[in-house]
Structure 1
């Protein structure tokens, strides 16, 4: 992070300097007292369960010199510190993020979508890195707090940044887009994640489209027209729309997708009369479209198809996404970061495309699906059976419908109330030559199952 002065923080946040020196500087931003470092601005956020104003004294005792607070009384514990008072510390953090992005003059691509946004973000990063010094999110940071923490790892040598913008409710992406003001945005798709909160796919579409709320004539939106709700014809903003798809009518056309299971994906991408073969060394045929979206976005910054292809060969996905692990002759496809019906079906197709003695799927809850939750879980179980899965294992109550769907489609299926009930049975259920998929919503921590299989 480039150093910024107290005066800059006060001006950016519309705050009041209660004490300290305007010409003092900070060299980092921190919201967690446990990882505070010398030189950081400590932002005292008010969370659902914790008010960080309780920890300002502790941070001061650790050597903290600069604080952003919204409770005046907290300043009493901060003698000889630079203390800025704002009405809302989260809003102040976001305003400072907006200011800092402008200050360092970085180019910005933002990615959102119901599924695939983190993978697409990673692809954008590796492609851009062929030409520019590029910043990307720490871990899976895509929220009100995560994006600022990411941004403050950039400095004036950062030429491009790719940012992921997530949401659970309407209005959240609007707020993130206001903070980041991307020049180019990607919407990967509009699925049924967050249906419980938003009520309909149309409402999810509107929430995703908030990423364009601050767009003008110089901005570009890139959409996956393979999604039924993402069509150029229904977008009427004063900005350019670039389409990706498989029909042949899009600006970037994906064709000849060859799913090689765990070995990766090959495909052809055509645009403007130019065609190029691409290879991804990560599993999942759906990633061909994600890669095409990334290529289209990076082309706005002069990245060639050849450079994009080289970047994608280096791709490594963040977190527990389609990670291949192996022990004792059993391979595990650990895709346990998150789950929605479409992403579970994609993972099952990846398994189906991979030679193995037997295909096993250990599946859990898919969250925020609203009233259709039982039917959507049942459908996934049925789909697994129809696509050759030999054994389906469902864990926790929502997955009971996965098991029922699999059984009624003729598949061997078992149900366990908790992960811990499965663990002692694993040596009896799995055998050499198996390919095992583990997938559920992130809150279910299904990577722990993958760990148990691998570590024995």
Structure 2
């Protein structure tokens, strides 16, 4: 048991204040993710842009009484708190969890590599959970923060631990090695992923190998040349340890001699049989996958099972039943205006906490429901386990629980504070439930794999057109952070969610931005802002094109209009006066050279008089719009705009007599012209992973993937034509795939007749013929084995939206905003 006093001794910190000895069970790093206040220890981390010490006051009011801080706190400010002072809170976090790890003498598997870490970890859990009580990293928690949170989960009842570790720059793995201290190592592979922080592949391999400095064995594939050479060099270095503690290498290869020598890989339908020699004895496995990534991941798991001495029959039987791993939380549109969050592949406390955090972010529905299966292998007694689950549900404001399984049903008394109903099996639930009972709610479907909750997902999800736009919320959040890293700590961020958030969906994106602390939102029209308010968005919202007919809605929903002319100001003034409002927030647009909207220099004296009259308005910000910030050839013009804005905004603020936020920088200017940051920046297309200035793209991730499926494949002879107008003629006998997307979905007609291309089975296929309303045809003659139902990438991974825009003779903005509303949006968090 940990207390503030014992943690203070571990950290060699100064116990500034001690008022009790409550048991500390949870580490809290994000104030928004509080689950159990009484047993939580808050460690506020400090970065260039954010100092989490500012959240101590709020958490104290919510019942948190244990804090590790790096800034002194005035005596008596928190009379019932235990406060430990340290030099650096991140280092304290690492030191505490490293000490915690040393209390356990069990096998610990550490996994690193470029790809496959999470899959290997989850498959090992599936393969070994019958034999051990296992603790493992939740989802892909493998960073300087994720690893400590993972290892802190270790409890006396655990018999095996599996943790993954990832690094983004040199020097980081030293910290993770001290925390994980793996006894068994797996290096999955090495590639170009996350290469930016390293000089070359070998430096990255050597940095990752630090994880295995004190391991007993390292499992890896010899077929990666750089990896094999670095491992052998590393082995020679650490081989200087005492002989009984020397690092053992367990290798596998498809090309050369190895401990596990792969002889053949035979793919048949949806299964693969892999034959090998291990210690000169023939062995084999069969897995329900045929892709190369899964084959490689399975062989790593196989090697580990062999090292542990598992019988061949056991390995074969379990490998044959490996299941898909949900690498993300998906949110889809459900029946009866519901939102469905699908996480139906595993159920444990760690992943439940993550899923509940995602559910809590959703504000579009007043009611939040959780459909939850039995939680398997928690190591806790059923009573204490479900009491903890009940506390988590209550702390996250869950309105209704549907428990499925014999164990959770037996513990229904634990859930007295939440409206709940229970079923002993998924089958019983499906037989008795009435889908009409689910109305206007956000529903988390969270179950262990054996409960087959995907059947519940199919029942509740709205049947969708097979053309979908996937929105990666994790990528969007990372893009926001990438831009924030360029800003001064005092610079605010206004996020543009106009035009249906550049086609991505308004309230879903706004929910995420609100959760991540964006300062302002901007929409084009008032009805967009009203929709956000109705969906629970409380951030200030600027309306960029306020129409007189929308003034009542603006005032009713506390939206903030952009005013760009005296006529518009006078009209809005009348509405504010009639509504008996005072100091109503507005934003003033200045025209500095774009000549679209805005007040000009000669308007400023009269504008200031009008704004100061009667006390009707409070100017929140003064701003302007850069016309060509992405173009270095236009930098003189851009500088002229900026200088003009500085002069005009200073003059107007002086006449107003109070401080006002000033902003002019858009996405391109944030990284190209940092001197133009001022008080706030406006983040638009860059947030969605598109850098119009082409100098920051490698730091961004594309957020959207538009995909569809093949409806039919047919062979046509040379000379036959395809599509309306017979504009495309087969020059050779051809294979034509019809796919489910057309101009009504937003695929531009200019992309017909070979101008546009799509990805099928990893290869580009040109459009054959003109684009129809709901369908188009692709020439797939050069792509083997294309079949009905195959996935087709319109843009996304491997086919950037910028390429599509170039082929269409337009810009990515038009492509993204032109995607039809009939195309279903699927939101997911990695």
Asked if 1 retains the 8 angstrom alpha-carbon contact of 2:151 and 2:179, the reply is: no
What are the Cα deviations for residues 172-203 of structure 1, in whole angstroms up to 9, with x where unaligned? 12221122111111111111112222132122
Map of 1:224 onto structure 2: 221
Instruction: For residues 146-174 of structure 1, give each alpha carbon's deviation from its aligned partner in whole angstroms, at most 9, with x where no partner exists.
Output: 11222233311111111110111111122
Partner of residue 248 from structure 2, selected from 218, 240, 250? 240
**d(CA) in 1 for partners of 2:9 and 2:740?**
54
Q: CA deviation at 1:54?
A: 0.8
Root-mean-square deviation (CA, aligned residues, Å) is 4.2
Q: 1:130 to 1:173 in 2, by over 3 A?
A: same
The match for 2:285 among 278, 290, 301 is 278
* Distance of 2:470 and 2:266 partners within structure 1: 22
Q: Are the equivalent residues in 1 in contact too, given 2:120–2:300 (CA < 8 A)?
A: yes
- Is residue 125–residue 134 contact of structure 1 (8 Å, CA) maintained in 2? yes
Choose 1 or 2 for highest CA Rg.
2
Map of 1:129-168 to 2, 5 A cutoff?
129-168=129-168
Alignment of 1:96-245 (within 5 A): 96-212=96-212, 214-215=213-214, 219-231=216-228, 233-235=232-234, 236=236, 237-238=238-239, 239-245=247-253
Question: Would the alpha carbon gap of residues 105 and 398 (structure 1) be closer, same or farther in structure 2, given more than 3 Å must change?
Answer: same
**CA separation of 1:355 and 1:225: change in aligned 2, threshold 3 A:** farther
Aligned CA distance change for structure 1 residues 74 and 290 (closer, same or farther; 3 Å): farther
Question: Of 275, 293, 296, which aligns to 2:303?
Answer: 296
Higher RCO by CA contacts (8 Å cutoff, separation 6 or greater) = 1
CA distance in 1, matches of 2:162, 2:105: 14
Q: Do the aligned partners of 2:802 and 2:811 also contact (CA within 8 Å) in 1?
A: no
Which residue is 2:14 aligned to? 16
- Asked whether the equivalents of residues 111 and 185 of structure 2 are also in contact (C-alpha less than 8 Å), the reply is yes
* 1:259–1:25 CA distance, 2 compared to 1 (3 A): same
The offset of 1:104, in angstroms, is 3.6
Give the corresponding residue for 1:30.
28
Change (3 A) 1:255 1:28: same
Distance change in 2, residues 1:178/1:265 (3 Å):
same
Distance 1:126 1:381, change over 3 A: closer
| Alpha-carbon distance, 1:19 to partner | 1.3
Instruction: State the SS of the aligned residue for 2:141.
Output: coil
| Residues 53 and 119 of structure 1: CA distance in aligned 2, closer, same or farther (over 3 Å) | same
**Alpha carbons of 1:299 and 1:157: their partners in 2 closer, same or farther (altered >3 Å)?**
farther
- What are the equivalent positions in structure 2 for 1:349-360 lying under 5 Å apart? 357=713, 358=737
Aligned partners of 1:127 and 1:307 also within 8 Å: no
Quote the Cα distance in structure 1 between the aligned partners of 2:206 and 2:315: 31
TM-score (norm 1): 0.72
1:353-406, Cα deviation, whole Å (9 max, x unpaired): x998459899xxxxxxxxxxxxxxx9x99962365579653359982686699x
Contact between 2:110 and 2:164, CA under 8 Å: does it hold in 1?
Answer: yes
The answer (yes or no) to whether the contact 1:110–1:163 under 8 Å persists in 2 is: yes
CA offsets per residue over residues 210-265 of structure 1, 9 Å max, x none? 222x32xx62111111212122644423211111221251111234323457x354
**1:420 corresponds to 2:805:** no
2-side partners of 1:177 and 1:355: how far apart?
A: 50
Contact 1:127 1:295 in 2 (8 A): no
Question: 2:642 aligns to what?
Answer: none
**Kept in 2: contact 1:253–1:270 (CA 8 A):** yes
Q: Distance in 2 between matches of 1:166 and 1:356?
A: 42
Q: What secondary structure, in the 3-state scheme, does the structure 1 residue paired with 2:109 have?
A: strand
User: In structure 2, what is the equivalent of residue 433 of structure 1?
Assistant: none
* 1:416–1:40 Cα change, 3 Å: same
Equivalent pairs counted in the alignment come to: 391
